[in-house]
Structure 1
Amino acid sequence: MSKNSHTLVLASALILAAPIALAMGSRPKVDEEAANSRIQPVAKVELAAAAPKAAAGSRTGEELYKGVCGACHETGAAGAPKAGDKAAWAPRIGLGLDGLTKSAIKGKNAMPPKGGSDATDEELARAIAFMANKSGANFSAK
């Protein structure tokens, strides 16, 4: 047998032996601990516990504004008047705090009822007073 033929026979035997070994249930042993140490994550994420919720009805206008209203009223999203924009708020301020609150409770244009919040009517009035006062009003909400 020539050297090339011998090499070809040996290579063929090896190619055939691998699937047979796997079919018989023989697998190479893996050191899982070593493998895991080589593929360590580059970072870990830990979620902090949620801040305790304020009691219903106890949030200030500023707290509700920062937690809910500001998402649209800071950016003007969906046509929301930006807090501090006196021109945009002037006609709204003319409705008075009660009128604005009634409108916000029901929802206005793209704004869902109560701005999509779980605010009480009193909390909502506080948030409206906070926003309107940044825009030239002088509302007082309890």
Structure 2
Amino acid sequence: MSEHRASRRAQRPLRPALSLAMAAAIVLAGCGKDNGKVDPEVTASLIQPVAKVELKVVTVAPGSRTGEQIYKSICSSCHDAGMLGAPKTGDSGAWGPRLAQGFDGLTKSAIAGKNAMPPRGGGSDLTDTEVKRAVAFLANKAGAGYTEPPVAQ
């Protein structure tokens, strides 16, 4: 008789787990059934993401960008942080020897590329006039008094 009691005691822990499994099966049995009360459009709107990212492509005709626009879109990635030996924007000490070359010398270096800087600062679609505008803008941040070529209207 003691063997019988021992086997019954061993089965007792299974009863609550079995009851829980049966309850879960009953609850889940109703999932996925269309009871005609669920509107698919409402469901779709409720599961939309919290935020959306929309990208807007802005195209600017070559030749019509200002020095500041070019600086912000191309030059700032290196010159703001001084990456790869680029003189930091506004650092008159680092720009001093470069400014000594004059506006034409700086422009020539920017068009051809210098050290780690690729030709035209990596903006292959920049016109020579746009490079001049960017050079004037960047050099003026370090104290030069260059006149940026005007944008034709």
Aligned mates of 1:31, 1:78 — CA distance in 2: 62
Corresponding residue SS for 1:89: helix
- Counting only pairs closer than 5 Å after superposition, residues 65-104 of structure 1 correspond to structure 2 as 65-104=71-110
Aligned mates of 2:49, 2:120 — CA distance in 1: 43
Tell me the TM-score normalised to structure 2 length: 0.65
1:57 to 51, 55, 63: 63
Q: Deviations over 1:41-90 (max 9, x none)?
A: 55242313223x22211111111111111111111111110111000000
Aligned mates of 1:45, 1:79 — CA distance in 2: 38
Aligned mates of 1:95, 1:135 — CA distance in 2: 14
Tell me the TM-score normalised to structure 1 length: 0.69
Checking the alignment, whether the CA contact within 8 Å between 1:60 and 1:126 is kept in structure 2 is yes
Q: Deviations over 1:77-135 (max 9, x none)?
A: 11110111000000000111111111111111111111111211111111111111110
Aligned mates of 2:49, 2:63 — CA distance in 1: 44
- The letter for the 2-side match of 1:73 is H
Residue matched to 2:115: 109
Aligned mates of 2:53, 2:135 — CA distance in 1: 36
* Two-structure CA RMSD over aligned residues (Å): 3.3
Whether 1:130 and 2:137 are equivalent positions in the alignment is yes
Corresponding residue SS for 2:129: helix
Q: Percent identity?
A: 48
Gaps of 5+ in 2: 1-7, 9-30
Gaps of 5+ in 1: 5-28
Aligned mates of 1:134, 1:96 — CA distance in 2: 15
- The letter for the 1-side match of 2:47 is Q
Structure 1 121/42 Cα, relative in aligned 2: closer, same or farther at 3 Å?
Answer: same
Checking the alignment, whether the CA contact within 8 Å between 1:122 and 1:141 is kept in structure 2 is no
- The letter for the 2-side match of 1:135 is A
